[in-house]
Amino acid sequence: MRALIQRVSHGKVSVAGESIAEINTGIVILLGIGGDDGEEQAQYLAKKIAEMRIFEDEQGKTNLSLLDVGGEAIVVSQFTLYADTRKGRRPSFINAAHPNIAAPLVERFVELMKSHGVPTQTGKFGAHMLVEIDNDGPVTIWLERE
């Protein structure tokens, strides 16, 4: 499971011109599910992300977590995080989980984020989405749990 986390001052997801998720202070999580991923990876990443200290305290040091600042999250499923670009010019996505496996695991990840106390919204699995990310910092972090 791979997560690209971006600290945001504003994030929004739209499908067919309709806003389906919107937050201010928080994080946008682009989440990729691999073919061998399961509950263990989802639990690890949800806890790690909820508690990761990437927000600034009064002294400007990154000592505060999403929970500490009362931030929110948007989770966007993104199979392209499993792109294999080693051969040719067209990426292969063979290592991404099949939608029948990925969709429930994305939902489970969202449930876990909520269980850690993070208000969490989502994009729409499998849809063409417009994702607006006002990256604050910029702070962008790559996490992976195999």
The residues assigned a catalytic role are 78-80
CB 115 within 8 A of CB 14: no
User: To which residue do tokens 């919204």 refer?
Assistant: 121
CB 76 within 8 A of CB 132: no
Structure tokens at 75: 């989770």
CB 99 within 8 A of CB 124: no
Residues 6+ apart with CB under 8 A from 107: none
